[in-house]
């Protein structure tokens, strides 16, 4: 959808540019020229006021402090660690077992393993 910036730029260009040198610009000029003056006047302006842009820039603080979020996150982590430690403490310890494994190897491949 064209905007007020297109209308402004169209007025600044004046005449159609050379299609061989500037094919994209020529195509854009032809497209904008296809609209009537009533349609040109109906196009919305391209940008908001400078005050709105300043407010948006003020809201975004890339290097700001995250102390509030960090404190809340640390509190949640501490709660989870405490719950994990309580759960781990309630679990009984491992049961001591021993395993005896007898590994029998014949002297050669002709030894009868059933007799052993």
Q: What is the pLDDT of residue 51?
A: 55
Q: How many domains does the chain have?
A: 1
**Cβ-proximal residues to 16 (8 Å cutoff; 6+ apart), any chain:** 26, 29, 30, 33
Q: What is the pLDDT of residues 97-110, one digit of tens each?
A: 898 998 878 888 88
Percent of the chain past pLDDT 90, that is, above it, reads: 27
| Domain span holding position 11 | 4-47
In a domain, 35, yes or no: yes
In a domain, 60, yes or no: no
Verdict on whether the full-model pTM lies above 0.75: no
Q: What is the pLDDT of residues 55-85, one digit of tens each?
A: 666 666 667 666 667 888 889 999 999 999 9
Q: What is the pLDDT of residues 37-55, one digit of tens each?
A: 888 888 887 665 555 555 6
**Cβ-proximal residues to 113 (8 Å cutoff; 6+ apart), any chain:** 104, 106
In a domain, 37, yes or no: yes
């Amino acid at each position: 959808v064209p905007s007020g910036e297109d209308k402004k730029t169209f007025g600044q260009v004046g005449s159609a540019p050379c299609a061989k040198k500037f094919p994209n610009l020529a195509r854009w000029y032809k497209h904008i020229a296809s609209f009537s003056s009533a349609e040109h006047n109906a196009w919305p302006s391209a940008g908001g006021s400078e005050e709105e842009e300043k407010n948006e820039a003020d809201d975004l603080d890339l290097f700001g402090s995250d102390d509030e979020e960090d404190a809340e996150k640390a509190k949640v982590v501490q709660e989870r660690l405490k719950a994990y430690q309580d759960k781990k403490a309630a679990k009984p310890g491992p049961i001591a077992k021993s395993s005896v494994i007898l590994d029998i190897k014949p002297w050669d491949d002709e030894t009868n393993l059933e007799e052993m």
